[in-house]
Structure 1
Amino acid sequence: MSEGGKTFFGHPWGLATLFGTEMWERFSWYGLRAILATFMAASPAVGGLGMTEETAQAVVGVYGALIYLVALPGGWVADRILGARRSVFWGGFVIMLGHISMAVPVRGPAFVALGLLLIIVGTGLLKPNISVMVGKLYRDDEDARRDSGFSLFYLGINLGAFFAPIVVGWLAADNRWHLGFGAAAVGMALGLLQYVLGRENLRGVGDRPGEPLTPGERTRVLRLMLLCAALAALALGVWAASGTFTLDGFTLVVTVIILAVPIVYFSYVMYGPHGLSDDERSRMKAYIWLFVAAAIFWMIYDLAPSKLLFFAQNNTDLTLFGVQIQAATTQAFNPLFIMIFVPFFAALWLKLGNRVSTPQKFAFALIMIGLSFVVMSVAAKLAESGRVSVWWLVLVYLIQVFGELSLSPVGLSVTTKLAPQAFKGQMLGVWFIAVSVGDAVGGQTGRLSRVMPDTAYYLVLAAMAIVAGIALLLFVRRLREMMAEHHVPSVPPIR
């Protein structure tokens, strides 16, 4: 729904409200992410949790995986219970409480675990629904204007992602962990304040659920939720009482569950009684290939806040243009390169048109992410003799962004294009499950570091990505036939 009067760069002023809310929410998310792994691995003597780096990597991986996985139920809650506007508010409020819990200066993991759980739940409510609200600011016949509005919205995401590691990393320096976590809480509070003050600018967008539950359905849903929570608590209690519970074991179990989600879902879509046509079944088979490729990509790409962060801390001379920086600051390289190169890649894909297919873009992305870890292997080898220049990480992130801008922008588009008619709405959430799977498995790859040197670790993951990319290239013609692909529009990436 468009509006007259005051505008935000030619767009409805409600976009300014959502732009600021999302920018500050991403500030809180990327700020926490920039210091979480190093906090967990730091000695309790300096306020950390004393985990091994491998365990911290697994926890960060599962945490990131759950953040993307809960987008599915979060969208459902908005559609059936709260509506998008209230879902975003309560999601932001719960996120803020999570960061406050993280900031409590008490030793031990209790408040940390509570904080991460609250952030996961809150992000599930906020993240998918604020994007829905952006789209609803425009009329159905304003496709071009809506695309432009989303581009501005994504700029807010990357601005928050860029400044967060710099600010939070500086505040958390010298083991001031909880000051850094507090900054993330303040960021989310500022986003909430802007959201509340700008409510009138939204003009009713997202006020009501699209398909509210009946009273009977509400009762059944509440019972099911309580039953699931009780069963989960019982299972954890029994596991803990057995004396065999470990954090490594817990992250492995969660990873297996996350891996099972797409397997069950795709089996349900392909073999359930949905009346899929032969063309729909063929497109879904092609999509599964792309889903696996995306999961492999994110498995490596999202090691930035764990494995690469530890490399920055332990093996890098953190001096950039003569200025000393924090290890967390290296997490700002990625969003900076995204903001620089998004216009270039958007123009490139427009010029190439359908001469470059979706499988080819995915293959290029896999090869790029693989090459970035070849570079990391070289850097790790040089680091055996002493700290290496931080420019090695700059190069790694630059190569990775070339890969991301070849895969992420077309992911949602191709998901919509290949989805069977009966699953059009659900399939948008499935794309984020690929990120979830990649994050969870990537966290578990830290176990390889216990049996091989880092040079080999990086090369093993690089080989997986490059081989997968070559496999996609070999089957491009077959995949295009299965997809009936002619042209897939390119949109800015959303993380």
Structure 2
Amino acid sequence: MSDRTFFGHPWGLATLFGTEMWERFSWYGLRAILATFMATSPAHQGLGLSQETSQAVVGVYGALIYLVALPGGWIADRILGARRSVAWGAFVIMLGHISMAIPVTSPFFVWLGLALIITGTGLLKPNIAVMVGRLYPEGDDGRRDAGFSLFYLGINLGAFFAPIVVGWLAAGDRWHLGFGAAAVGMALGLLQYLWGGRNLSGVGEHPSLRLTPRERRRFGRFAALGAALIVIALGVWAATGTLTIDRLTVAITVVILLVPIAYFAYIMLGSHDLTEDERIRMKAYIWLFVAAAVFWMLYDLAPSKLLFFAADHTDLSLFGVPIQAATTQSFNPLFIMIFVPVFAALWMRLGTRVSTPQKFAFALVVVGLSFVVMALAAWLAGAGRVSVWWLVLVYLIQVFGELSLSPVGLSVTTKLAPEAFKGQMLGIWFIALSVGDAVGGQTGRLNRVLSEPMYYLVLAAMAVVAGVALFMFTRRLRVMMAEHHEPAMR
């Protein structure tokens, strides 16, 4: 076994760090140009969709990425193991980007590519994080937390550089060159993963609870039946002549909304040997889940609504240097890398004097205020293009909200989850992002009746009202969560 370390951590972390960095490069690179590509006319090599439809597609695409993390984790646990799941996931993602990079006018390869990327991400995303945790022995919590911090840095490095590189390559209607860069990024990540596999010390090689032959046959029949029903339903819908991209995104959004409703009903209405305290904590968690979904509904409009604003209404230059609209998608990860240590130190200093509901409420108010700034920018843009620094300010404000909500989301999920649902509940946190992305994608329809400034103000009001309500019920939620308040230090 090698004695090499990666900044004091097992060398296997370097393999996973690089794989995740390149995977995020491919994901954020595609995301930075997807909406504008779809809304560009076919004369300029785009799909010619409306901005409203493009926003809805990007919304459900992001939503499905998070939703498939649940079955992806299950497949790793019961069939493939985390290690093979990540390898196959990376391979399928690469095929998806290659499909989108094929320079043909037919949209078939675009939709096929998105479907492959969603499928591959479901296999890779949840399982590579699991492998990071398993690199460390039991009880080595300090190094494990530090290892995840390095891993998080890799995510944001990929997210920062991807929009710059892919946006530059895709400029001048060279969309497929941009998609090709994302494919190359994922190929590099896959090669590094396969080459560095010997450094993983057997982590994730086998499923934690492999299906028996009987269970495998039953799963195969169930999967085949489910796929057949979806194909038949879509075929019948198409035969009626009423199937459109817009209607399909609405249908997917409704399904995504039903998933957490059904899951929470299953937990709360079944017995499952839940104690009364566990039921009370789950009621508190449902409110936090809704708050998180509202937050992501606004926050994840960055690759659609805010990207369109950058392209159509801003003077795209920073310090006199011309930039692409896609480059504005790099502002967020840059600010995250700058402020993560600041907020980590702040929460450590404040301890439990600031409760989880208060952090969530603050995040909602902050993301709402960012859209008040967007409303002002949109109003000024009525007289001509505005400075791109308006978007810099918006993303800066939003990062303060993200760092108040996102890092504590998984933590509070594990804390409030009933004992019988500890493992499953981790996936529920990602469904909050899925719901937010899907609903946010549909909000573009508000522009049929609202002006641009009013669109942003309506969403801002929703977030601020939700945040204020959460502040008002903080004491009650803390009691339900059994979260104790520490007196302020004098």
Query: SS of 2:331's equivalent?
Result: helix
Instruction: Give how far 1:4 is off.
Output: 6.3
Alignment of 1:210-221 (within 5 A): 210-221=208-219
What is the aligned counterpart of 2:346 among 338, 344, 348? Answer: 348
* Residues in 2 aligned to 1:480 and 1:68: alpha-carbon distance in whole angstroms: 28
- Is residue 353–residue 487 contact of structure 1 (8 Å, CA) maintained in 2? no
Give the equivalent residue in structure 1 for 2:109: 111
- In structure 2, the residue corresponding to 1:76 is in which secondary structure? helix
Give, in whole Å, the separation in 1 of the partners of 2:445 and 2:66. Answer: 23
Alpha-carbon distance in structure 1 between the residues aligned to 2:407 and 2:91: 29
- Per-residue deviation, residues 235-259 of structure 1 (Å, max 9, x unmatched): 0000000001111000000000000
Instruction: Mark the runs of 5 or more structure 2 residues left unpaired by the alignment.
Output: none
Deviating runs (4+, > 2 A) in structure 1? none
Mapped partners of 1:232, 1:429: distance in 2: 23
Could you report, residue by residue, the CA deviation over 1:127-176 in whole angstroms, capped at 9, with x for unpaired residues? 00000000000001100000000000000000000000000000000110
- Supply the distance in 2 between the matched residues of 1:230 and 1:250 (Cα, whole angstroms): 18
Residue in structure 1 matched with residue 13 of structure 2 by the alignment: 15
Give the AA of the match of 1:188: M
Q: How does 1:70-469 map to 2 (within 5 A)?
A: 70-469=68-467
Taking the aligned partners of 2:117 and 2:166, their CA distance within structure 1 comes to 17
Structure 2 counterpart of 1:223, which letter? R
TM-score using structure 1 length: 0.98
Q: 1:164 & 1:485 partners in 2: Cα distance?
A: 40
C-alpha distance in 2 between matches for 1:207 and 1:466:
46
Deviations 1:281-328 (A, max 9, x none): 000000000000000000000000000000000000001011000000
1:348, 1:405 → 2: CA distance?
11
1:37-67 deviation line (CA, Å, top 9, x unaligned): 0000000001100000000000000000000
CA contact (8 A) 1:165 1:331 kept: yes
Please report how far the alpha carbon of residue 365 of structure 1 lies from its aligned counterpart in structure 2 after TM superposition: 0.1
Specify the code of the residue in structure 1 equivalent to 2:96.
G
Q: Please state whether the residue corresponding to 2:172 is helix, strand or coil.
A: helix
Paired with 2:270 and 2:256, the residues of 1 have a C-alpha distance of: 21
- Which one-letter code corresponds to 1:353 in the other structure? G
Cα distance in 1 for residues equivalent to 2:159 and 2:270: 41
Task: Quote how far apart the aligned CAs of 1:487 are.
Answer: 7.9
Specify the code of the residue in structure 2 equivalent to 1:160.
G
Letter in 2 for 1:95: I
Q: Deviations over 1:327-349 (max 9, x none)?
A: 00000000000000000000000
Q: Secondary structure at the match of 1:198?
A: helix
Alpha-carbon shift at residue 276 of structure 1 (Å): 1.0
Counterpart residue type for residue 214 of structure 1: T
CA distance in 1, matches of 2:448, 2:46: 22
CA shift for structure 1 position 407: 0.0
2:64 to 66, 75, 84: 66
Question: Alignment partner of 1:108: what SS?
Answer: coil
Q: Which residue of 1 aligns with 2:479?
A: 481
Gapped regions of structure 1 (runs ≥ 5): 489-495
Distance 1:108 1:35 in 2: 18
Indicate the residue corresponding to 1:493 in structure 2. none
Q: Secondary structure at the match of 1:174?
A: coil
Aligned residue pairs, count: 486
For residues 243 and 191 of structure 2, the distance between their equivalents in structure 1, rounded to whole angstroms, comes to 41
1:273 positional shift: 2.2
Deviation at 1:5, TM superposition (A): 1.1
Deviation at 1:108, TM superposition (A): 2.2
Identity between Structure 1 and Structure 2 (%):
78
TM-score (norm 2): 0.99
* Aligned alpha-carbon RMSD (Å): 0.9
